[in-house]
Amino acid sequence: MYGEFPSARPRRLRTSPAIRRLVAETRLHPADLILPVFAREGISEPVAISSMPGVLQHTRDTLRKTAAEAAEAGVGGIMLFGVPEQKDAVGSQGTDPDGILQVAIRDVVSEVGDALVVMSDLCLDEYTDHGHCGVLDDQGRVDNDATLERYAEMARVQADAGVHVVGPSGMMDGQVGHVRRALDEAGHQDVAILAYTAKYASAFYGPFREAVNSSLKGDRKTYQQDPANAREAMRELALDLAEGADMVMVKPALPYLDVLRKVADTVDVPVAAYQISGEYAMVESAAANGWIDRDRAIMETLTSIHRAGANMILTYWATEVAQQL
């Protein structure tokens, strides 16, 4: 009977690289990739991040070169994070028009124009002396609504600097709608919002905190999502879409591929996933010890994220992989 062994032999379509390539169901493209980059204030040479081999805190000059290299490789976008010299309780540098992130935005836009989609992290954690993603009330708790006002101001100065897309990442309730209103009222209707829709309170953020010189003590479990919850992510998704999100994100990527699939099956907007610092560090450290094949592991992880439904992937390997592709 048709379909039974020996007439049905799936291995026929695995016999050579050419045929495997022909029938591949998932294909990565350089334009699918977004490169996260750290711009640090007050340094004359780039600074290596020990827990993320190969990733740097950039000077203004090396940031420009990195952006140009990404654009030449065909990378789709660049996500900028600022690392300031000075911090305070309300993250003043995050809303200073001459703060490091706004300077970085202007530098990258002037360097690559529209060859890259220039994105910016819209959050206070890099700029606060307590390391939280918002301002604190008199009991030391993150004040959701007061933080929204700070995010609105951040959105305006980032848009004024020329950013194409803002990424509100603090997981405050109502952040997408508040940022959308602030942008529209300031005449920045064309600036898009990449919503960090399902951002989990993950153990895999550790290396990132070194990358941004984080001052955090404690955790962010009162505002980032509980790793145990998937259905809650769909509620966050519905709220972000109702508030005007242009794109949505799941972060981290690999531990939450099930959530990513649910999101991708639900929405009609582009879906991103962030392959975060801890995911990067695990592959790099295992490869450095000879335990895994580095290049194959990188491509396998990115393919799995794309297969699970991500149209765009933020990854620290973006330029390297784009050059290989």
* Mean pLDDT confidence for 222-249: 95
pLDDT of residue 130: 87
Q: Establish if 8 belongs to a structural domain.
A: no
Whether the per-residue pLDDT at 22 is higher than 60: the answer is yes
d(CA 36, CA 318) in angstroms, rounded, equals: 8
**pLDDT classification of 272: cutoffs 50, 70, 90:** very high
Average pLDDT of the chain, as a whole number: 93
Which residues, in sequence order, are CB contacts of 192 under 8 Å at separation 6+?
164, 165, 166, 246, 247
- Token pair listed for 262: 């649910």
Omega cis (within 30) before 6: yes
pLDDT of residue 213: 64
- Token pair listed for 140: 């030391």
pTM of the predicted structure, to 2 decimals: 0.93
Q: Are 286 and 292 contacting, i.e. CB atoms less than 8 angstroms apart?
A: yes
d(CA 229, CA 226) in angstroms, rounded, equals: 6
Q: Of 104, 123, 82, 122, whose CA–CA distance to 162 is shortest? A: 104
Q: Establish if 7 belongs to a structural domain.
A: no
* Mean pLDDT confidence for 217-237: 89
Whether the per-residue pLDDT at 212 is higher than 90: the answer is no
Q: Establish if 263 belongs to a structural domain.
A: yes
Other Cβ atoms less than 10 A from the Cβ of 216: the count is 15
pLDDT of residue 66: 97
pLDDT of residue 184: 97
* Mean pLDDT confidence for 23-32: 95
pLDDT of residue 140: 86
List 56's β-bridge partners, or say none: 48
Q: Are 158 and 105 contacting, i.e. CB atoms less than 8 angstroms apart?
A: yes
d(CA 263, CA 271) in angstroms, rounded, equals: 8
The number of domains in the chain is: 1
Q: Establish if 216 belongs to a structural domain.
A: yes
What is the C-alpha end-to-end distance of the chain, expressed in Å?
42
- DSSP strand pairing (56-58 vs 47-48): antiparallel
CA within 13 Å, CB half, 67? 30
Whether the per-residue pLDDT at 1 is higher than 60: the answer is no
Q: Establish if 126 belongs to a structural domain.
A: yes
**pLDDT classification of 155: cutoffs 50, 70, 90:** very high
- How does pLDDT run across 107-139, given as a tens digit for each residue? 999 999 999 999 999 998 889 988 788 889 988
pLDDT of residue 43: 94
- How does pLDDT run across 161-196, given as a tens digit for each residue? 999 999 999 899 999 999 999 999 999 999 999 999
pLDDT of residue 2: 66
**CATH of residue 261:** 3.20.20.70
In Å, how far are 82, 106, 164 from 60, measured between CA atoms? Answer: 11, 10, 19
- How does pLDDT run across 35-72, given as a tens digit for each residue? 999 999 999 999 999 999 999 999 999 999 999 999 99
Q: Which residue has the tokens 């897309």?
A: 165
% of residues, the chain, pLDDT over 90 = 80
Q: Establish if 219 belongs to a structural domain.
A: yes
Q: Establish if 6 belongs to a structural domain.
A: no
**pLDDT classification of 222: cutoffs 50, 70, 90:** confident
Q: Which residue has the tokens 């955090």?
A: 216
% of residues, the chain, pLDDT over 70 = 98
Q: Establish if 186 belongs to a structural domain.
A: yes
Classified as helix, coil or strand, 113 is coil
**pLDDT classification of 98: cutoffs 50, 70, 90:** very high
Active site residues: 199, 251
Alpha helices in the chain (DSSP H): 17-22, 60-73, 100-112, 144-160, 175-185, 206-211, 231-243, 257-266, 277-288, 294-307, 318-324
Supply the range of the domain harboring residue 249.
28-324
Whether the per-residue pLDDT at 4 is higher than 90: the answer is no
